[in-house]
Amino acid sequence: MPKSDLVLLALDNPDILPLFERALAAASYQVAIARDRAALDKILQETSPALLIISDVFKEGSGIDISAALLERMPTLPILLFVTHELPSTTKAALRVGISDTLNPPLRIDDIMRSVENSLKRAQCIGDWTRREVKRTTASLEKRVNELQKLETIFNHIEDGVIILGKDHRILLLNPAVRKAFALGQSDIAGKNILDVIEHPALDSLLNSASANLHQYHEIGFEDGRVFNAQCAPIPDIGLAITMQEITYLKRIDQMKSDFVHAVSHDLRSPLTAILGYVELLDRVGPLNDQQREFVRRVRVSVHNITALVNDLLDLGRIEGGFGGQKEIVRLDGILNYTLDNLNNQILGKKQHIHVELPPNIPSLRGDPIHLRQMLDNLIGNSIKYTPDGGEIQVRVEVNEGQVILRVSDSGPGIPPADQPHIFEKFYRASNVVDNVQGSGLGLAIVKSIVDNYEGRIWVDSVLGHGATFTVVLPAYRPEVMETRPA
Ligand code: ADP
């Protein structure tokens, strides 16, 4: 401890002051003396004493109260209280306000110096600890700030647009990719409602779908031909995250591919019709032997398969290209009964049992009846096709919060978990499909396109070997909402 430390004596008792002065001077401490409150405040303002020694009665005031007030401002200042009349309550009160130690008469120089040294040592320890803590906290704060800066840099350099919205769709964060996409410049938009800042119908419907928990992928198109795929996901306790990925080049490639497939499929149809026509004529121009008849049968089956594939491709092209058909108010139960009538022969042929559950008063849907029939044909047709003879098929419709929920379940082979995420892709067939079950892998892609066009959702639940359940959720027709939307 360097002995040049300054000790401030706030003592007004002429009998003991010289004793303290002498003891401290002998130990080479600097000493300052305050004989009243004003002098005490002045010295504390002008100097930084290492220790304050104050008597319990200081100029008719209470040394403990003065100490309490000082410790509020200077919590690390060690204070020694000289107690003129020792009482347990005084010692307790002194410790409660944070006084380091008390000195009681009879005073001896040794006692004074031990108490002074101890208080200074303790203050030194507390000082060291405080400095270490400040250093540690500062370092961890610096680390946090660095991490935040890194995150900010990453956020600002992400090529995809990212918007984070808080309550009431107020903007919390928005990266430069979004500013560029919507030409927002550098305007200050934090805290504003996103729809006041960005006026785009697709963004509006994306947020509407998010709040209605509907399909949450939307394409945001611009007049200059740019297209973004926008998705919305809830962030717990914060709000929503919208991400936007530019897909202009994918759209172009997809369009070229669709045009190509459409042209090829269209051109394939006429020769196929011709082949089928001539095959039908063969046995009319002369008797065929059994082998020739079998060959003709095989040609016919193959031509039918190719024709089905071409028709699927043309359907998919039409649906993906947007709706050609008119949207009208349709009743799902009517279309479902029609589909079931058409598929009845197949169900009887495989001796399967079908169970249909339709609640009364299913709300109508707004759409093209042909598309809805294609959707049901494919889903129920698949259940019949993949479920072995004698199996069970269940079709259930439920209505929940303005949504119509259709479930098609079967007791068939199910779909391996690894295949489930891909079965809605074009030409994808699961790995457990057996050879004699024909298919192009386009049916579910058609169903998915239709469901997407209706702003609905579709998914499959399946345990391998224990059947599959396809669930489709479609928004029910609500004239007040839907009539305002573009067709
Ligand atoms: P496909 O013409 O092959 O039936 P889909 O697109 O309709 O094509 O279906 C894709 C794949 O999903 C099928 O090949 C099959 O592996 C699987 N799948 C579809 N429905 C079922 C079902 N009900 N049970 C088991 N697997 C199914």
What CATH number is attached to the domain comprising 107?
3.40.50.2300
Q: CA 314, CA 312: separation in Å to the nearest integer?
A: 5
Mark whether 329 and 473 lie in a shared domain: yes
Q: Report pLDDT digits (tens) over 291-346.
A: 999 999 999 888 888 888 888 888 887 777 664 556 789 999 999 999 999 999 99
Mark whether 480 and 335 lie in a shared domain: yes
Q: Which of residues 225, 246, 267 is at a domain's end?
A: 246
Mean per-residue pLDDT of the chain = 88
Share of the chain above pLDDT 70, in %: 95
Mark whether 104 and 116 lie in a shared domain: yes
Position 99 confidence tier, pLDDT thresholds 50, 70, 90: very high
Domain extent, residue 113, equals: 6-131
**Is the confidence at residue 215, as pLDDT, over 70?**
no
Q: Whose CA is nearest to atom 11 of ligand 1?
A: 429
Mark whether 480 and 332 lie in a shared domain: yes
Which pLDDT does position 486 carry in this prediction? 44
Measure 470 CA to ligand 1 centroid, in angstroms: 11
Instruction: Tell me, yes or no, whether 31 lies in a domain.
Output: yes
Mean pLDDT across the stretch 142-153? 95
Mark whether 231 and 267 lie in a shared domain: no
Measure 303 CA to ligand 1 centroid, in angstroms: 21
Instruction: Tell me, yes or no, whether 227 lies in a domain.
Output: yes
Residue 330 has which token pair?
């349709």
Q: Is the CB of 468 under 6 A from ligand 1?
A: yes
Measure 10 CA to ligand 1 centroid, in angstroms: 93
Share of the chain above pLDDT 90, in %: 55
Measure 275 CA to ligand 1 centroid, in angstroms: 29
The β-bridge partners of 277 are: none
Bond into 106 cis (ω within 30): yes
Q: CA 356, CA 409: separation in Å to the nearest integer?
A: 10
Q: CA 98, CA 202: separation in Å to the nearest integer?
A: 65
The β-bridge partners of 407 are: 396, 471
Ligand 1 test: best mutation among 429, 446, 471, most atoms within 8 Å of CB?
429
Which pLDDT does position 443 carry in this prediction? 93
Q: Report pLDDT digits (tens) over 400-424.
A: 888 999 999 999 999 999 999 999 9
Q: Which of residues 112, 131, 150 is at a domain's end?
A: 131
Q: Is the CB of 413 under 6 A from ligand 1?
A: yes
Which pLDDT does position 209 carry in this prediction? 73
Q: Is the CB of 416 under 6 A from ligand 1?
A: no
Q: Which of residues 219, 246, 273 is at a domain's end?
A: 246
Which pLDDT does position 60 carry in this prediction? 75
Q: Is the CB of 374 under 6 A from ligand 1?
A: no
Residue whose tokens read 């809830």: 234
Q: CA 141, CA 424: separation in Å to the nearest integer?
A: 48
Which pLDDT does position 306 carry in this prediction? 87
